[in-house]
Amino acid sequence: MSNSVPVPGRRTSVSASDPPNFIPIPTNTRGLPISSYGAQSPPATSHMASLGTSPRAAYSTSPSTSSHLRAGSGSLTSAFQGMARQLTAFLPKTYPLEEEPEKRQGTTKVLLLENINLDAAEFLKNQGFEVDHVTKAWSEEELIAKLPNYHAIGIRSKTKITQKVIDANPQLLVIGCFCIGTNQVDLEHAARRGIAVFNSPYANSRSVAELVISEIIALSRQIVDRTQEMRAGIWNKISKNCWEIRGKTIGIVGYGHIGSQLSVLAESFGMQVVYYDVIPIMPLGTARQVDTLEELLGKADFVTLHVPEIQDTINMIGEAQFAQMKSGAFFINNARGKVVDLNALASALESKHLAGAAVDVFPKEPGSNGPGFNETLGEFIPRLRNVSNLILTPHIGGSTEEAQRAIGSEVSNAVYRYLTFGCSLGSVNFPEVDLRSITIKDDRHIRVCHVHRNEPGVLKQINNILADHNIEKQFTDSKGDIAYLMADISGVGQEEVEGIYSAIKNTRANILTRLLCELPFDNILLQ
């Protein structure tokens, strides 16, 4: 990637590519003087321009400008020229411009960490973005130092996007969590800074459910212990305390997408299914919902957790809950590391109250593959490593080729749609807003994407600013303290962009304002 800092671990095969030929659209339909535009410039390497502003953006405009809509035919102010180039760099070559071709700028840069599926990287690259693919997680210090080079970031579960990281990156527009959970991101603070966060809540459900089934069978037959003995040269053919899973009871805590899929799989093995959830949920098959967690713990031969990490679930399973489980039962956690007291689990296994367990997630996890799963992550780690019939796995619940391809496709598409079209459907921290596509028949369209505080009077202000233009379509929604407005206006000349942008940016409730202009491909970009 040109003009970028070296990135350790980056796969150099992933880089920006040139887009296809553009379809020209009519120019200067408003009959404005050619002198107000100047020389033409060819298009840049992306099909959509994005103007970004945050409360700390460096762009400024003259307060003496009397009209925010009709800026006149004079040249743009020097303070605005960088931002104006960023917009006009993506207009068709037939659109008259005043900037020199060699001064073009505006390429959107995307960082993908933690060895995210390469199909996702290739997809974003093929949309005209510059993509860096890194195999490991970055620390908070690395994110603060290096993330300012990027407008979007993709992460999995190890990279933590904290308030400090967000505040250090005012240029950041979107975070893609290529996993189920989003607890590694400060969602509220991201929303307050106008950063949309996307995830893939369902794509790896089957992979996790299948892992649980495999662990149930492995634990009931003590397969891990027998394998370790064989590797040590010990032949130990026994049947004591080895069981079939047919006829046994599985207790599922959290009957969402994973829990319900697991329910169906468990029944197909002849297991009885009980489940506990905080809300009433229609069972699948012959599964039965119980009223309390205590009831489930007392009935189940296998207890498996499938809950998010929220305040109500942290340490929801501890010494008291393990004591309520049957003697000789099994415990499985493939949910989140902080929902279980692992010291208490170690004690339950050491005392033989539990016959075995499987743990895939931990309160703290190493940032990269290799040595590091030791007492630095918690005093319980050496204890767990020494107990029998315990399956320890390195957070691989969703780590299958099928799941990672599905997650990569879903989240990369969400990131692409938000950066390119402003679509926030599927965002976990943001109002969900979308507009239908702009077609090649839409002359000089500008899409306004305005994130603002949810206060009275904002829509009136924005519509007053856009009053002299034809508002083709508009949609707004709010979520808590944050609101998001999208509006398409047509027939916008270059000489008007500065006024529109500056007026919206300087409204009282502004968090982030972007202006997007469409460049049509051979096909309509948004079907």
Sign of the CA dihedral running 378, 382, 388, 394: positive
Q: Burial of 444 by CB count in 10 Å (0-12 exposed, 13-18 middle, 19+ buried)?
A: buried
Nearest Cα to Cα of residue 446 among 512, 485, 508, 494 = 494
The residues with which 476 forms a beta bridge, in sequence order, are 485
Q: What is the DSSP string of 239-299?
A: -TT----TT-EEEEE--SHHHHHHHHHHHHTT-EEEEE-SS--PPSTT-EE-S-HHHHHHH
Q: What is the DSSP letter of 102?
A: G
Question: Side chain identity at 166, as an amino acid letter?
Answer: I
Round to whole Å and give the CA distance between 276 and 293: 6
Question: Side chain identity at 79, as an amino acid letter?
Answer: A
Round to whole Å and give the CA distance between 130 and 19: 12
For residue 302, which phi and psi values (nearest 5 degrees)?
-130, 125
Among 395, 447, 450, 452, the one annotated catalytic: 395
Asked if 294 is an active-site residue, the reply is no
SS3 511: strand
Asked if 122 is an active-site residue, the reply is no
Round to whole Å and give the CA distance between 484 and 434: 10
Among 257, 336, 383, 452, the one annotated catalytic: 336
Round to whole Å and give the CA distance between 301 and 328: 8
Nearest Cα to Cα of residue 201 among 397, 411, 399 = 411
Q: What is the DSSP string of 129-187?
A: -EEEE-SS---HHHHHHHGGG-SEEEE-SS--B-HHHHHT-TT--EEEE-SS--TTB-H
Q: Burial of 522 by CB count in 10 Å (0-12 exposed, 13-18 middle, 19+ buried)?
A: exposed
Round to whole Å and give the CA distance between 37 and 35: 5
Asked if 188 is an active-site residue, the reply is no
Among 365, 405, 432, 472, the one annotated catalytic: 365
Residues belonging to the active site: 336, 365, 395
